[in-house]
Structure 1
């Protein structure tokens, strides 16, 4: 798990996240470094805690979620999860296409045009699919060794970037407010661990049950925290001296411009490879999530849907949208609320000691163990829905100060402006679920079903896609 989350977070996207802390939240470098630590390592500690469910149940996160929300009630959270995974694929693919375009320009002098842009998007998508289709064990092996290679390349690039810092401007920058730090931590959490919270169990499901849960939490927090704190802090350091990174429509080109010309190729290879390591995990989890939705189709069609959506999103980012950061932060803001609401319910359920019946997790017909009432476990579904409503009331969604998509009635309150909408969402979801669960004997009766400990784990529910399932595959 350490290498899984280290590999997923050595991409160059950490630099733009750090840039937003300085440019949009007014923090100085030291505040940004603290916020980066709390937001990234803290949110991935949550990912590690939720991964305990994967170890217990031996199934992907959203399959385990059926036990909490019910066979039908789980469809809403699963759909949000699939959109989240595809959204992150689009972000990674767009950034990687920028890197590939710059690499072609540096190596062959090819200038960017619409056709070349689409080709670069497709090249990255194909590379991602090639790796994500290799199976769980192979992906874990790739994560470890590729992390060494691209991790070293990133360290070299970071060394040269530090040399470009205007230290006088950094040291003289004023400090931001406490509320700005709180809001910044929320942005970092939404852009790092919260985005992976509903996928953590996907990679922990083959682990032996005897492994202590605390080790999962520590491995996840440190594995993701080490590269993220370094990259986010560096992004803040660069922006404190020059705000150009935070306003660039192409963050790859902005970083490239800060480096010596001979560093272009190593930097762009590191950027492309780091994004590939993150993206193939998203595609892998997106495939598992699509199956959990109950879409019975061939694997080729499922992959085709993923490719079409990702390609369309990449074209929008690169050829239609006027800015990278506007759509990027909008995406994080919108999805942080429903995902955090799910974390509140599912995390509380895990903390209460839920045990899973592996066979029942794959049964979605009336009368099955996790059917509950009408296919919904009402305490979980109601808690999730109410928390989303409360969270959205505290949220403002915008691509720029002049382009506001949605503004909740409480978004300009202290909680809203401090970026604490996601935290309130979590508290409401967890607290309401605790109360409603006590009032529902049927919900509690399914928490420790007979035979829950008889499974060997490792179910990835891929039989519907025509993929043979075997332990450790």
Structure 2
């Protein structure tokens, strides 16, 4: 593969994203990761998800507990990030260690790229819907085609930031994070003034299901968001290789967890006083008229920040999958696909149904794949060699059996089947979920089955390779050594 220099100064297009970062270009501290992850997670999606918990039939405190519990998966996101400074390569390349070169290509297309593009479409849909509400605030007779134009405009802005790469995203995140947090703090003030903390659902739980089943369904919905962020190494790889792993994990995980929980709780509280089936319009009834358009702008900017990070990683996923394009071209390709899905979601299907269904079904792959990644880090003691991981040649350390690591792939397939048996959505319910009255245990079961099976199948081989005097798992140069 013809690889080009990876890092870029702000204002210069970053051309590629799969080669390891040279030591001379490693800089910053783990604390810098907070603004990257916090800025990208100040998104309206979490507000909508919090409101959906109220629509499910949970009361205030039950819904808040579910928001906190589901977002604890950001601990896993932080843990995955520690592989970045050590190896200097993104998560999309590290996956070769546990899936093999060819197996990892397939997983990058399904898990890294396809799911990522669907999330890009969700964020574009949210941004365009809110943007149209902003237009209607000033021009009530605006035609519906304006919403389509907003999709194109937001896509142009979002994917332009992603094309310029890591340095631009980092600079954008540093100032936008605090602007968004201030705006969210103001919104929180007005929501708290009107919220009904004693709210109890009048119609009972969703479809008459028992409370614990509804709570588990909400847990799965909330957990789907952090589980989709299996790209922690993509941004941590720019840090010096001797960066403290616990600090890397903390600032990454906390950066995602804090805004996700805070905004999710605001969605819950808003759901006690407004109809969260149409949250954008409903918020106009509890926000001052002078602040409502500001609130809409905050949502739009948040969707752009979140999508910039997502689009950057989906571009890397295509490269890691073996697509021989420049990274800038992969981002443009993503934009075309995401815009098409967004227009369909807005003008053809029911957006809320599509949203909840997509997030829940994506866990079939996301939960087991994160578990395998975590277990591999633990067994390997985070000893990844960036140069070795980039070796795609037959016979290399990542080739395994014809390019497929059967241990990782078997664990993934079995974990995905186990997850599917326990998943419960509006259009599909696994047989074991049905037997439990609709309870959705998919993220928990999928993680335990996949992680445990991978440890059983691959643990001995990995530990044996680490015990040898010279292994491909160990760093080969000061450029990637911790």
Q: TM-score range by the shorter chain?
A: 0.7 to 0.9
Q: 1:319 to 1:336 in 2, by over 3 A?
A: same
* C-alpha separation in 2, matches of 1:344 and 1:169: 37
Say which SS state the counterpart of residue 228 (structure 2) adopts: helix
Deviations 1:186-238 (A, max 9, x none): 321112x1111x21111111222333322223223322222222211121112
CA contact (8 A) 2:424 2:439 kept: no
Matching residue of 1:437? 458
Contact 2:433 2:441 in 1 (8 A): no
Alignment correspondent of 2:369: 342
Cα deviations across residues 61-117 of structure 1 (Å, max 9, x unaligned)? 01111122110111232112111211111010011011221222223445241x322
CA distance in 1, matches of 2:367, 2:240: 28
Residue equivalent to 2:34:
2
Counterpart residue number, 1:95 = 126
Distance 1:126 1:150 in 2: 21
Q: Secondary structure at the match of 1:372?
A: coil
Name the structure 2 match of 1:261: 289
Answer yes or no: is 1:239 the counterpart of 2:239.
no
- Aligned residue for 1:105, secondary structure, equals helix
Q: 1:174 to 1:311 in 2, by over 3 A?
A: closer
Query: For residues 336 and 9 of structure 1, do their structure 2 counterparts lie closer, same or farther at Cα, with a shift above 3 Å needed?
Result: same
Correspondences of 1:3-402 after superposition (within 5 Å): 3-24=35-56, 26-40=57-71, 42-79=72-109, 80-113=111-144, 115-166=145-196, 169=199, 177-191=211-225, 193-196=226-229, 198-242=230-274, 244-245=275-276, 247-248=277-278, 251-299=279-327, 301-321=329-349, 323-352=350-379, 353-398=381-426
Aligned counterparts of 2:474 and 2:199: Cα–Cα separation in 1: 63
Partner of 1:466: none
In 2: Cα distance, 1:350 partner to 1:137 partner = 27
1:220 and 1:363 map into 2 onto residues whose CA distance is 28
1:412 paired residue among 409, 434, 442: 434
Post-superposition offset of 1:383: 0.6
Deviation at 1:434, TM superposition (A): 1.3
User: Per the alignment, do residues 328 and 444 of structure 1 end up closer, same or farther by CA in structure 2, a change over 3 Å counting?
Assistant: farther
Change over 3 Å in CA distance of 1:169–1:27 after alignment to 2: closer
CA deviation string 1:344-390 (max 9, x = no partner): 11110001114222222222231122101111111111111111111
The Cα offsets for residues 282-318 of structure 1, whole Å up to 9 and x where unpaired, read as 0111111110010112445423321221111111111
CA distance in 1, matches of 2:211, 2:376: 36
| Structure 2 CA distance for partners of 1:376 and 1:303, relative to 1, 3 Å | same
CA distance in 2, matches of 1:435, 1:339: 20
Point out where structure 2 has 5 or more consecutive residues left out of the alignment: 1-32
For residues 445-464 of structure 1, the aligned pairs below 5 Å read 445=465, 448-449=471-472, 452-454=475-477, 456-457=479-480
> Relative to 1, partners in 2 of residues 1:446 and 1:70: Cα closer, same or farther, differing over 3 Å?
farther
Q: Structure 1 length normalisation: TM-score?
A: 0.86
Structure 2 match to 1:461:
none
Secondary structure of 2:121's counterpart equals: helix
**Residues 1-21 of structure 1 deviation map (CA, whole Å, 9 limit, x = unaligned):** 211221121112221111122
Deviation of the 1:410 alpha carbon: 1.6
Structure 1's 144 and 394: CA in aligned 2 closer, same or farther, altered over 3 A?
Answer: same
The answer on whether the counterparts of 1:370 and 1:446 sit within 8 Å (CA) in structure 2 is no
Instruction: Look up the SS of the partner of 1:412 in the other structure.
Output: helix
Q: Tell me, what secondary structure is at the counterpart of 1:344?
A: helix
Q: Structure 1 residues 203 and 169 mapped into 2: Cα distance closer, same or farther (>3 Å)?
A: same
Name the CA shift for 1:304/1:142 in 2 (closer, same or farther; >3 Å): closer
Equivalent position of 1:467 in the other structure: none
Check the 8 A contact 1:21/1:236 in 2, yes or no.
Answer: yes
TM-score normalised by length of structure 2: 0.85
- Closer, same or farther: CA 36–451 of 1 in aligned 2, 3 Å: closer
Q: When the two structures are aligned, how many residues end up with a matched partner?
A: 440
Q: Deviations over 1:311-343 (max 9, x none)?
A: 11111111001x321111111111112111111
3-state DSSP of counterpart to 1:207: coil
Contact 2:416/2:446 (<8 A) preserved: yes
SS at match of 2:103: coil
Label 1:275 to 1:457 Cα distance change in 2 as closer, same or farther (>3 A): farther
For 2:163 and 2:464, the matched residues in 1 are separated by 38
Indicate how the Cα distance of structure 1 residues 95 and 455 shifts in structure 2: closer, same or farther if over 3 A, else same.
farther
